[in-house]
């Protein structure tokens, strides 16, 4: 938790040097509170930390600059800020993007940077592949979990099922399979060269194994 607060404080100081410290702290605290909501199992602070670790790997590999890293980390904070498993039609992503726009503008983040964060948050609705830069890096970091070691991947799938506990098994299996299958059907799961080199093989194996379980009769 302390590391997350440090990331937040440093990134806001860089992107909004005139922000009032009390306002920055209040927004950071609100985001942490949201990530600790009781209905969440996967979309928590742990997911955010894993996104940040993945972004750090991609920055060190030269996929994004340090300045772009700050933008993508702010997108990480906001991309699941509103999370209701019952929502449909991208409502979570839209409300999260609107929250990001309001809070970041209120802190004095430059309009271009606010727009960049908003676009990254909205892009998580489709996870469409994009070429290079922050969009590609954020796409890959958010999907790092697909390439997680087997134990963590099994834990992740169990956490997702818990978040959708209200959905009957058959409907969940069909819906989850419909989300996963397109990842295997496209040329690559990941957008950056670094992620394709380091994570692609394991991600395809994990997703294939999960689909086999979901579709078993």
- pLDDT tens by residue, 30-79: 999 999 999 999 999 999 999 999 999 999 999 999 999 999 999 999 99
| Range(s) of the domain holding residue 140 | 2-214
d(CA 49, CA 66): 17
Distance of CA 12 to the CA centre of its chain: 19
d(CA 185, CA 8): 36
- pLDDT tens by residue, 14-24: 999 999 999 99
Q: Is the pTM for the entire model greater than 0.95?
A: yes
Give the CA distances from residue 130 to residues 118, 134, 159, 171, in Å, rounded to whole numbers and listed in that order: 16, 10, 28, 30
CATH of the domain at 109: 1.10.1300.10
Q: Which two tokens stand for residue 172?
A: 């969940």
Q: How many helices (H) and strands (E) does the chain have?
A: 11, 0
Phi-psi bin for 90: left (phi > 0), alpha (psi -120 to 50), beta? Answer: left
Domain count, the chain: 1
- pLDDT tens by residue, 7-16: 999 999 999 9
């Amino acid at each position: 938790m302390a590391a997350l607060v440090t990331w937040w404080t440093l990134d806001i100081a860089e992107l909004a040097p005139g922000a009032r410290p009390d306002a920055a702290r209040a927004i950071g605290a609100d985001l942490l509170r949201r990530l600790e909501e009781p209905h969440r199992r996967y979309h928590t602070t742990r997911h955010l930390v894993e996104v940040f670790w993945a972004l750090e790997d991609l920055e060190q590999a030269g996929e994004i600059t340090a300045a772009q890293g700050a933008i993508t980390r702010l997108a990480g904070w906001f991309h699941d800020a509103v999370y209701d498993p019952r929502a449909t039609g991208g409502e979570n992503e839209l409300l999260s993007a609107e929250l990001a726009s309001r809070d970041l503008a209120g802190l004095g983040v430059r309009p271009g940077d606010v727009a960049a964060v908003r676009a990254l948050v909205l892009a998580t609705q489709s996870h469409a592949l994009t070429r290079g830069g922050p969009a590609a890096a954020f796409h890959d970091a958010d999907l790092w979990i697909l390439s997680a070691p087997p134990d963590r991947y099994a834990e992740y799938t169990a956490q997702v099922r818990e978040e959708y506990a209200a959905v009957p098994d058959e409907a969940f299996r069909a819906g989850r399979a419909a989300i996963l299958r397109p990842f295997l059907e496209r040329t690559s799961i990941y957008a950056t060269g670094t992620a394709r080199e380091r994570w692609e093989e394991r991600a395809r194996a994990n997703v294939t194994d999960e689909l086999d379980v979901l579709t078993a009769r």
